[in-house]
Copies of this chain bind each other. A is one copy, B any other.
Amino acid sequence: EEVSKLLQLKAQIGGDEGKHVFVLKTPKGTRDYNPKQMAIREKVFNTIISCFKRHGAETIDTPVFELKETLTGKYGEDSKLIYDLKDQGGELLSLRYDLTVPFARYLAMNKITNIKRYHIAKVYRRDNPAMTRGRYREFYQCDFDIAGQYDPMIPDAECLRIVHEILSELELGDFRIKVNDRRILDGMFAACGVPDDKFRTICSSVDKLDKMPWEEVKNEIVKEKGLPEEVADQIGEYVRMQAGGMELAEQLLQDPKLSKSKAAVAGLTDIKLLFSYLQLFKVTDKVVFDLSLARGLDYYTGVIYEAILTQAGVAPIPAPQEANGSTGDDGPVSVGSVAGGGRYDGLVGMFDPKGRKVPCVGVSIGIERIFSIMEQKAEVSAEKVRTTETQVLVVSAQKNLLEERLKLTSELWEAGIKAEVLYKRNPKLLSQLQHCEETGIPLVAILGEQELRDGVVKLRNVASREEMDVSRADLVEEIRKRTPQS
């Protein structure tokens, strides 16, 4: 860190002849997307947006910064990761940290009581970047939420169906969606003897179970958070129960301790209802009820869920470091969460002057991790990623035909054909063909003196090298026939 700062300073001062030299880089934790990455990103977004639209969602957008105050008190300890803008006179502003708080602000501000919306946009966190693992300071979030007073578990089930559809369509390999409920966790903590005011902090500890073994989590609960060992052990019994489905909910409803907690009973009853809907939606093959799922955020009030990829090797996330000599063999190594969400019925009320609540449930797709996986796949794959959609390059073999090339290209644009022409008066035929090879343009329209006299164009297939004369009147139709429409 110190060295890099010095090097940076040197670069700034340095340069030959005392000339000021720019530090040519993007800010720490950020990156440019090159055309290839953008092509992959567009494909992923299209899949996700199609799914959101299939489920009848609208979309909104909010500013990249909010009044600082809007974000205050929403993120607990993580508030220190918020980017503030410099006070240049006027309002104090901060870059958005997620899309959920702006969404809640939007609902309260516009007095909207029901909406089904998606929002895809960048958010900002002054976190320690780990760019090889897909963790950046500027990154996309991709949220779908349903706000409104509805009958229990119906919108919640649709959110899970959406996660199932997206992960299946993106072909990221096998996945599992863990489900739990904050009320069950709270009931469980109460039953185990955790004091009320420690629910959230113990929740944070349990949340680490996907990254560290139980022994370490227990250690944290006892040593750092000061609970008696017996309490921790009781929690441990629950959170290490084999994940299951409706039967596990049924079984826990019979549990002597849990059945005494109103919250736990309400949560377990809803989990059962949720699974009955998930059966109708045909997604129970991937969904498990898992008592160890806790989720970090404070604002969840009901169902919570998280999707993980279960096939090692597809994800760019290496196994977590085995710190403290632990063996960490509590099940297969998680390759990281690719979606998560839950119900948050209280957040909008925090913004409403009269505290009116708007129940919400939503899901956030871990799009950056998905990008990383898709990029990796593209690199391994033999298929070349095209960064343009050009159908045909208009070329000439002879000199002095620039005007004819421009005229034909213009005709093709007029007809909606994606066409390019090299910006040279007399480019070599070879360099024109090379441009096609490099960028994947499938067709070449060749103009020559002879073709112009005959009123034809020679249409060449770049891959097969086949050529045929096409009358100018039929050219558009022939190009359409030979290239995929999009």
Contacts and interface: CB of A to CB of B under 8 A. Distances in A.
Interface stretch (A33-41, A331-339, A474-482): A33-41
A62 B32 contact: yes
A61 B38 contact: yes
A253 interface: no
B106 A32 contact: yes
Nearest to A30: B63
A108 B56 contact: no
A35 B69 contact: no
B280 A138 contact: no
A98 interface: no
Contacts of A30: 63, 65
Interface residues of A, number: 96
Interface string A111-153: 0000101000010101000000000001000000010101100
Contact of A24 (B54, B84, B105, B126): B105
Interface stretch (A172-180, A204-212, A241-249, A418-426): A418-426
A106 to B, nearest CB: 6
A410 interface: yes
A362 B52 CA distance: 35
A165 B87 CA distance: 43
A53 interface: yes
A121 B2 CA distance: 34
A424 B149 CA distance: 9
A286 interface: no
Contacts of A270: none
A7 interface: no
A423 B150 contact: yes
Interface in A29-60: 30-35, 38-39, 41-42, 53-60
Given A66-B27, A150-B424, A406-B277, A60 B84 contact: no
A154 interface: yes
A38 B60 contact: yes
Contacts of A91: 27-28
Interface in A369-394: 387-390
A407 interface: yes
Given A85-B95, A150-B423, A165-B413, 6 more contacts: A22-B105, A26-B62, A26-B66, A31-B63, A148-B423, A151-B425
